[in-house]
Chain A
Amino acid sequence: MSRRATFATALRVLRQLRRDPRTLALLFLVPPLLITLFRYLFDAQPQTFDRVGPPMIGIFPFTTMFVVTSVAMLRERTTGTLERLMTLPLSKLDLLAGYALAFASVATVQAAITSGVAFGLLGLDVQGSVAVVIGLAVCNALLGMALGLFVSAFARTEFQAVQFLPAVVFPQLILCGLLVPRDQMVEALRWISTVLPLTWAYDGLSRAAAGTGGGAILRDVAIVLGAAALALALGATTLRRRTG
Chain B
Amino acid sequence: MAAIRVDHLHVIRGGVDVLHDLSFEVVSGTVTGLLGPSGSGKSTLLRSLVGVQIVAGGTVTVLGEHAGAASLRRRVAYTTQAPSVYLDLTLRENLSYFARLLDAPRAAVEQAVEAVGLRELSDRPVRTFSGGQLSRASLAAALLGDPEVLVLDEPTVGLDPVLRRDLWATFREIAGKGKTLLVSSHVMDEADRCDRLLLLREGRLLADCTAAELRARTGCDRLDDAFLALVEQA
Contact = CB atoms under 8 A, between A and B. Distances in A.
Nearest to A19: B88
B230 interface: no
A20 interface: yes
A144 to B, nearest CB: 21
Given A81-B85, A243-B52, A8 B74 contact: no
A79 B87 contact: yes
Contacts of A8: 97, 100-101
A45 B78 CA distance: 62
A156 interface: no
A12 B54 CA distance: 29
A89 B50 contact: no
B98 A88 contact: yes
29 contacts: A4-B100, A4-B103, A8-B97, A9-B101, A12-B97, A15-B93, A16-B86, A16-B89, A19-B125, A79-B86, A79-B87, A80-B83, A81-B86, A83-B80, A83-B84, A84-B80, A84-B98, A84-B141, A87-B50, A87-B52, A88-B73, A89-B73, A89-B101, A89-B102, A90-B101, A241-B68, A242-B52, A242-B68, A244-B54
Contacts of A242: 51-54, 68
A243 B68 CA distance: 12
Interface residues of A, number: 25
Contacts of A16: 86, 88-89
A93 interface: no
Given A89-B73, A241-B68, A19 B52 contact: no
A4 B78 CA distance: 22
Contacts of B53: 242-244
Contacts of B74: 89
A79 B50 CA distance: 18
Nearest to B11: A244
Closest 8 A-B residue pairs measured CB to CB?
A80-B84, A8-B100, A80-B82, A84-B84, A89-B73, A19-B88, A12-B97, A80-B80
Interface of B: 13-14, 50-54, 68, 70, 73-74, 76-80, 82-89, 93, 97-98, 100-103, 125, 141
A234 interface: no
Contacts of A9: 97, 101
Nearest to B71: A89
Contacts of A11: 97
A178 interface: no
A12 B89 contact: yes
Nearest to B12: A244
Given A5-B101, A87-B73, A241 B89 contact: no
Given A80-B80, A243-B54, 16 more contacts: A4-B100, A4-B103, A12-B89, A16-B86, A16-B88, A19-B89, A79-B84, A84-B84, A84-B98, A86-B52, A88-B98, A88-B101, A89-B102, A243-B52, A243-B53, A244-B53
Nearest to A7: B100
B51 to A, nearest CB: 7
Given A16-B88, A241-B68, A242-B68, A83 B52 contact: yes
Given A87-B73, A89-B74, A243-B52, A79 B82 contact: yes
A225 to B, nearest CB: 27
A89 B13 contact: no
A154 to B, nearest CB: 19
Nearest to B56: A244
B54 to A, nearest CB: 5
Contacts of B87: 79
Nearest to A76: B86
Contacts of A88: 73, 98, 101-102
Contact of A84 (B13, B76, B78, B103): B78
A212 B230 CA distance: 82
B88 A20 contact: yes
A136 to B, nearest CB: 31
Interface in A1-57: 4-5, 8-9, 11-12, 15-16, 19-20
A16 B126 CA distance: 12
Contacts of A243: 52-54
A139 B80 CA distance: 37
